[in-house]
Structure 1
């Protein structure tokens, strides 16, 4: 694994992660895209071209100077702008769903509103054209600062947990802790006995973030592999296991001039021309699909290419089932975790970039312990670092932390797991490895609260700050008015108002238009501004333990909201009916003595109603309202207000 890989996720997420997300969303068929589809196509292509430069940026030495840093910063800004534009399209789609259900708005009013379809499409087209122009300028600027475009597989990543991977691996990169694995695999792959086999398959299996792609990339670029195989091909598969698509990607990799061929017969004929009597090395990275018939169909097609004996397919996967289905001739290779020393070396190089600077003994001790406890799983780093947003000695709630990770986009659902399930796995890893302490359990023995040791918090803070050198530009920091530069305000995605801090100007909140998280827990506020409705990207809102007396009607415009927390808000007695428009809501928390604050029958994604659902004849809150909520999880308390009885399910 490359040095710094444990925390490289923190660096690449604002750029590469956003670009991948944009490429996926831009390729989706959404009715609102009609009218600016051409601009979206250009946007996707521009992003993929810039992504080629990003592969070079990630491996440039820091001494390259200010120009490189400025280029990266510009790219982050443009990527954020593009992310926000596509989020606006998603928001508008949700708004239309809500209003269609309400059937309240008249056609005349709709025509005159800023959300008129024609006006909206014009607005989005203008924004996307501006972003495309900025990306074009950035592309030209890249050549002046010495960046090189390195062509990678440009197949758009699948939405819902997939990611785009590539074969690029710099020769001067340091590989930590994988030399023994690489040596063993290369020995197997280059064994002369394989020359008697037409095609062999070796699955490399291991849990998320362990470094399977890194091992495959290292193999792909090893001189011994390059010398043994005449052709090398890299394909990122992810959730897609459609035979024609994979064959098309293989052909495009071998001969870009033949991109776009879709018919199976034509694909096979062209692949025979490329691979006949040649020994090839094919990497199928990040395979999820467990359908044995699809894999059998793919292998049947590959067997028709008349390639030389000794050809090999490497399959990387998290699934033991996939590994079992795909292995042929060769056994599966189970990737082990890194050693404590390897993990500490990786962690230290990012948290303490100046290798010559002395490291405090207590931080080194706790850092080595974290390295041991992380068990060689680098993707836990971004979730771990995010915990530094809480004050020291803060009692963190398990569900709350997962919901925050989800709102920031750290968690992506897979084909069989919700975002919350994936977040729970990360929480469990950190918890079981003693990065959290002072746990509190519920009546069923489940850990629901925990704290972070002060020294662990210090290191999490260092890791988080290493994401960007300019701390004022950090998008995920606590409230500090003295550090609110214009750029900071416009780009910040997560805002915490810790403890009893007061916000002198509530209306200032609406200036943070890119916010995904607004945590006002225990903030010294009595109201939210009515203009909070402009925070269209908001996924998480927490007003618990505040003095808020009422919520503005405009809160019903937060169509992207996933989590709403308003516990211990004793001054808050009622909420606006408009909150029934929050159709993307997944978790809602309110006071125990408060009736169900709004109708929930339309919340098809809702998983949590806490603390209870109260049947109330006067408010038309009947049991039938729960009929469509098939995503509810955990305990559900149903209270009957008239008879003062409580039922639990």
Structure 2
């Protein structure tokens, strides 16, 4: 499905449907814009379903939303709580924020938006999520990237068995992930790059056989117990694609034994690059599959 989607995207790029591209450090497109004429036309077509609200003065601004609104974007909201007083529709499928600074997410809001598929709260100042997020069982996509104050996720996140993408990039003080991550059986993409305090992953990730993206894989980290993800836990993750960066921190003799369990790499047909970094060492091992 992703490959077909990429082909469609490339076709639209060739036809100037998108413009103003920005690339990340690895050369991948991270953002773009629609052509103005196309954007205006799509706004006209979806005016009863999509809405963008500029929030002034926190949640004091109340603008009634129609019952048909399914995709809502909040813009330029200052520091304060994200609560249910902003919403009148319980049928929303998408909730996103842009250039906002919410620091608290109301638990009642999480309980209210039961049909939500996409939750994007990236770039805010959120310290923690309420456990009620575990009731949003239809969620497919969560983006909490660039929340510099987020230290951990509630265990209830592991109840989101339909979740396919979890983005936590550059949550700089994130210390751990829930131990029950193995319950997220449909998770395909896990992004934790830039989470410098995250020294190890929970062992349950080794059971996520649908996982295709793991953009940072710390092993060791001083955790010599059964709860920590080890190199050998990669053995069943045969759907991994693209680049797999592994960071090894600990006794290299123990890691070597675990490495034998992770083999053979040949079972991971879609894995193109393997980068192994020894934390505290200056050597870097890079493996590239021959096509």
Question: TM-score if structure 1 supplies the norm length?
Answer: 0.32
- Alpha-carbon offset, residue 625 of structure 1: 1.1
Aligned length: 227
Contact 1:523/1:545 (<8 A) preserved: yes
Contact 2:164/2:189 (<8 A) preserved: yes
- Alpha-carbon offset, residue 528 of structure 1: 0.5
Q: Residues of 2 paired with 1:638 and 1:448: CA distance?
A: 23
Q: Specify which of 106, 128, 131 is matched with residue 506 of structure 1.
A: 106
The residue aligned with 1:166 is none
- Alpha-carbon offset, residue 624 of structure 1: 1.8
Contact 2:105/2:129 (<8 A) preserved: no
The residue aligned with 2:72 is 477
Q: Specify which of 20, 24, 40 is matched with residue 458 of structure 1.
A: 40
- Alpha-carbon offset, residue 647 of structure 1: 3.6
CA, structure 1 residues 505+442, in 2 after alignment: closer, same or farther (shift >3 Å)?
Answer: closer
The residue aligned with 1:556 is 158
Structure with max Cα Rg: 1
Q: Residues of 2 paired with 1:453 and 1:595: CA distance?
A: 43
Q: Residues of 2 paired with 1:630 and 1:536: CA distance?
A: 26
Contact 2:98/2:123 (<8 A) preserved: yes
CA, structure 1 residues 430+585, in 2 after alignment: closer, same or farther (shift >3 Å)?
Answer: same
The residue aligned with 1:582 is 184
What CA deviation, in whole Å up to 9, does each residue of 1:242-300 have, x standing for no partner? Answer: xxxxxxxxxxxxxxxxxxxxxxxxxxxxxxxxxxxxxxxxxxxxxxxxxxxxxxxxxxx
What CA deviation, in whole Å up to 9, does each residue of 1:549-588 have, x standing for no partner? Answer: 2211111111111000011112321222122321211000
More relative contact order, 1 or 2 (CA 8 Å, 6+ apart) = 1
Q: Specify which of 620, 629, 632 is matched with residue 240 of structure 2.
A: 632
Contact 1:494/1:515 (<8 A) preserved: yes
The residue aligned with 2:209 is 604
Give the number of the structure whose residues are more often strand, by fraction.
2
CA, structure 1 residues 597+453, in 2 after alignment: closer, same or farther (shift >3 Å)?
Answer: farther
The residue aligned with 1:595 is 199
The residue aligned with 1:535 is 136
Q: Which consecutive unaligned segments of at least 5 residues does structure 1 have?
A: 1-418
Give the number of the structure whose residues are more often helix, by fraction.
1
Q: Residues of 2 paired with 1:621 and 1:424: CA distance?
A: 32
Q: Residues of 2 paired with 1:571 and 1:444: CA distance?
A: 24
CA, structure 1 residues 483+426, in 2 after alignment: closer, same or farther (shift >3 Å)?
Answer: farther
SS in 1 for 2:236: coil
The residue aligned with 2:230 is 622
- Alpha-carbon offset, residue 466 of structure 1: 5.8
Q: Residues of 2 paired with 1:498 and 1:637: CA distance?
A: 30
CA, structure 1 residues 443+570, in 2 after alignment: closer, same or farther (shift >3 Å)?
Answer: closer
SS in 2 for 1:457: helix
CA, structure 1 residues 447+497, in 2 after alignment: closer, same or farther (shift >3 Å)?
Answer: closer
- Alpha-carbon offset, residue 505 of structure 1: 5.0
Structure 1 residues 85-164: aligned runs within 5 Å: none
1:424 to 2:6 alignment: yes
SS in 2 for 1:601: helix
Q: Which consecutive unaligned segments of at least 5 residues does structure 2 have?
A: 51-64, 76-83, 251-277
- Alpha-carbon offset, residue 494 of structure 1: 1.1
Q: Residues of 1 paired with 2:132 and 2:44: CA distance?
A: 35
- Alpha-carbon offset, residue 441 of structure 1: 4.2
